[in-house]
């Protein structure tokens, strides 16, 4: 992944750094008496992957809590909840996630089912997509939710005919219960990050950007793991922007960056949410959504940050050396993000903060070229660029054919000179970079190979471009490109050995690729016996 995209036969590593790359003979001369020699017999070695948008600590917590994502169906869920609760007798709350809406009538589970296995301890379990919570009667009682409790703004308490809560809480209504949770203990935060890091290393990921760092959760985990000398990944943290507090929080962000930026962890980015998602019409669009009959409505989605205030915030952050990591789904949100970076350039002149826009689901054609002009990175979640129920039934009909033809315009962005970085948004999607690259290349989900049509074939990326986005692209976003992202002499030996030649299409689907070893600074952080076999 050097600038010339050279393919080499061999690489030599010494004291954690790459000292030679090239033909077998040239590299073989570096073998000394104590050198470990690994013959991969034609299998690919890639630079360690970088995930440019991930929630590693939160995903680790999901894994540690009651994890329903491993099963399907009410009875299986109840069995998992019961055995988890039995194994955690001291936990005041049973928390977890991962149930599928398809397993319940109308997508809505019932508190009485959960009461059967958990009558006297409160429980709260989020759906796979994280927008809905299933709670038991004890949790509703503790929260004081009764038939007279009104729905909160931006949320809904599902109710029976008498108005009593049924145990399904939508969106902001989840907060009625979740605000009661005791703070997460430092021990469990550390355990969560440790688990997530091991899982990511096993997938070849050696660096990432945590897309939402909260002072009482992610920050505690990263600083503690660095303190114990256990953070092997290189991580950039994006500190969450609290729009209600506006400019008054700048001083605190500077203080947090200074206090928590340590070896391998840098709190140098700030995360903005500009809009919601298209499925529930909260994504911010330039032109209105359509109704179910295809007629224009008046709804264009709300800008979660006032566009003029955003310009000011981003200019000030940029002047302080902070990167902006901007969540923008709709074409208006993307434009507002680009406008804000443009305003910052006008005020501050050139800077090297490398703003990036995550998700970029819909981009107006006039804005494609602005990514390059403003050096804004398109941070894409490739797994979403395939036809599945949500996109087919909840998004495309409400956009109409013209806009639907430019959803996730990865190749158009690339053609317009945008730098691409890839990230998973784990735990929303799988953290497996091979599954994501497969969708980037095929625009068909790994789950529906050979079944669903290719989604917007012109937007397919070449594998080498997807690989670049996951290595050099993410390294660039994290200001790590002089250190990692390519296999070049002088760089750190962050390397991934695969079980095949990634570019041999006869070797199987891209998403079936497995990592046999992951090295950071030349030391194995994940290794399977097949490496030498
Ligand atoms: Zn995210």
Mean per-residue pLDDT, 151-171: 92
53 C-alpha to ligand 1 centroid (Å): 6
What are 130-143's pLDDT values in tens digits?
889 999 999 999 99
Q: Cβ atoms within 10 A of the Cβ of 132, count?
A: 23
Please check whether residue 497 is in contact with residue 513, taking contact to mean a CB–CB distance below 8 angstroms. Answer: no
Cα 218 to middle of ligand 1, angstroms: 14
Going from the Cα of 16 to the center of ligand 1, the distance in angstroms, rounded, reads 32
- In angstroms, what is the span from residue 149 Cα to ligand 1's centroid? 31
CA of 76 to the centre of ligand 1 (A): 29
Rg over alpha carbons for the chain, rounded to the nearest Å, is: 24
- Distance from residue 273's CA to the centre of ligand 1 (Å): 10
Q: How far is the centre of ligand 1, averaged over its atoms, from the C-alpha of 383 (Å)? A: 13
CB 164 within 8 A of CB 141: no
Name the H helices within 320-462: 331-348, 370-373, 389, 396-399, 401-404, 410-415, 433-442
Distance CA 407, CA 362 (A): 5
For position 432, what pLDDT does the model report? 98
403 CA distance to ligand 1 middle (Å): 23
Given this model, what pLDDT does residue 331 score? Answer: 98
Spatial contact of 338 and 326, defined as CB atoms under 8 Å apart: no
Q: How many A from CA of 501 to the centre of ligand 1?
A: 31
The 10s digit of each residue's pLDDT in 294-316 is 999 999 998 999 999 999 999 99
pLDDT at 129: 77
**C-alpha 169 to ligand 1 mean position (Å):** 21
| 54 CA to centre of ligand 1 in angstroms | 6
**Cα dihedral: 430, 435, 437, 440 (round 10):** -90
Output the CA 312–ligand 1 centroid distance in Å.
Answer: 24
- 8 Å CB contact between 337 and 331: no
pLDDT of 228 reads 96
pLDDT for the residue numbered 468: 98
- In this model, does residue 277 exceed pLDDT 90? no
Any alpha helices (H) in 110-203, and if so which ranges? 111-117, 137-143, 175-178, 186-202
User: How many whole angstroms from its chain centre is CA 324?
Assistant: 16
Provide DSSP, 69-131: GG--SHHHHHHHHHHHHHH-TT-SSEEEEEE-GGGSGGG---HHHHHHH-SSS-EEEEETTSS
Mean pLDDT value of segment 280-297? 93
> Using one digit for the tens of pLDDT, what is the confidence trace for 69-94?
889 999 999 999 999 999 999 999 99
Instruction: Report percent pLDDT > 70 for the chain.
Output: 100
What pLDDT, in 10s, does the model give residues 418-464? 999 999 999 888 999 999 999 999 999 999 999 999 999 999 999 99
Ligand 1 centroid – CA 141 distance (Å): 32
Q: Global pTM?
A: 0.92
Cα-to-centroid distance, 39 and ligand 1 (Å): 38
Q: Mean of the per-residue pLDDT values for the chain?
A: 95
> What is the distance between the alpha carbons of residues 29 and 302, in angstroms, rounded to a whole number?
62
- CA–CA separation, 204 vs 201, rounded Å? 5
* Rounded average pLDDT over 494-521: 96
Q: Write out pLDDT tens, residues 16-49.
A: 999 999 999 999 999 999 999 999 999 999 999 9
């Amino acid at each position: 992944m050097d600038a010339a995209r050279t393919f080499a036969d061999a690489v030599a590593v010494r004291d954690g750094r790459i000292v030679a790359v090239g033909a077998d003979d040239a590299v073989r001369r570096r073998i000394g008496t104590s050198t470990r020699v690994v013959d991969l017999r034609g299998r690919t070695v890639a630079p360690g992957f970088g995930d440019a948008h991930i929630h590693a600590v939160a995903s680790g917590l999901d894994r540690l809590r009651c994890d329903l994502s491993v099963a399907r169906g009410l009875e299986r869920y109840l069995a998992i909840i019961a055995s988890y609760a039995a194994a955690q007798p001291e936990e005041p709350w049973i928390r977890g996630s991962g149930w599928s809406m398809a397993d319940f009538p109308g997508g809505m589970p019932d508190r009485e089912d959960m009461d059967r296995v958990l009558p006297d301890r409160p429980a709260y379990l989020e759906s796979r997509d994280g927008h809905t919570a299933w709670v038991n009667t004890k949790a509703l009682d503790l929260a004081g939710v009764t038939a007279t409790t009104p729905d909160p703004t931006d949320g809904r308490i599902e109710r029976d005919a008498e108005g009593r809560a049924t145990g399904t809480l939508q969106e902001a209504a989840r907060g009625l219960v979740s605000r009661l949770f005791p703070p997460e203990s430092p021990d469990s935060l550390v355990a969560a990050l440790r688990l997530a890091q091991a899982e990511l290393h096993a997938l070849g990921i050696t660096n990432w950007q945590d897309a939402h760092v909260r002072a009482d959760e992610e920050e505690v985990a990263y600083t503690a793991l660095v303190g114990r000398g256990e953070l092997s990944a290189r991580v950039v943290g994006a500190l969450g922007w609290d729009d209600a507090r506006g400019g008054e929080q700048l001083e605190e962000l500077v203080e947090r960056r200074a206090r928590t930026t340590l070896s391998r962890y840098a709190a140098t980015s700030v995360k903005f949410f500009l809009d919601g998602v298209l499925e529930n019409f909260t994504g911010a669009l330039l032109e209105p959504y359509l109704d179910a009959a295809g007629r224009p409505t008046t709804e264009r989605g709300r800008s979660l940050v006032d566009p003029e205030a955003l310009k000011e915030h981003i200019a000030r952050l940029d002047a302080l050396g902070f990167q902006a990591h901007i969540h923008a789904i709709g074409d208006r949100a993307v434009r507002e993000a680009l406008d804000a970076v443009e305003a910052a350039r006008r005020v501050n002149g050139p800077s090297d903060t490398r703003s990036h826009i995550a998700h970029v689901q819909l981009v107006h054609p006039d804005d494609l070229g602005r990514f390059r002009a403003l050096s804004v990175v398109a941070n894409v979640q490739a797994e979403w660029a395939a036809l599945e129920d949500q996109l087919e039934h909840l998004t495309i009909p409400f956009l109409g054919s013209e806009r639907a033809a430019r959803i996730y315009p990865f190749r158009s962005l690339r053609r317009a000179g945008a730098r691409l970085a890839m990230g998973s948004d784990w735990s929303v999607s799988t953290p497996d970079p091979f599954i994501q690259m497969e969708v980037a290349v095929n625009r068909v989900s790994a789950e529906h190979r050979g079944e669903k049509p290719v989604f917007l074939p012109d937007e397919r990326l070449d594998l080498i471009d997807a690989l670049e986005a996951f290595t050099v692209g993410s390294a660039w976003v994290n200001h790590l490109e002089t250190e990692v992202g390519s296999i070049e002499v002088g760089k750190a030996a962050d390397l991934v050995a695969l079980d095949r030649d990634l570019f041999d299409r006869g070797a199987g689907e891209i998403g079936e690729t497995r990592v046999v070893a992951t090295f950071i600074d030349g030391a194995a952080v994940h290794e399977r016996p097949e490496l030498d076999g």
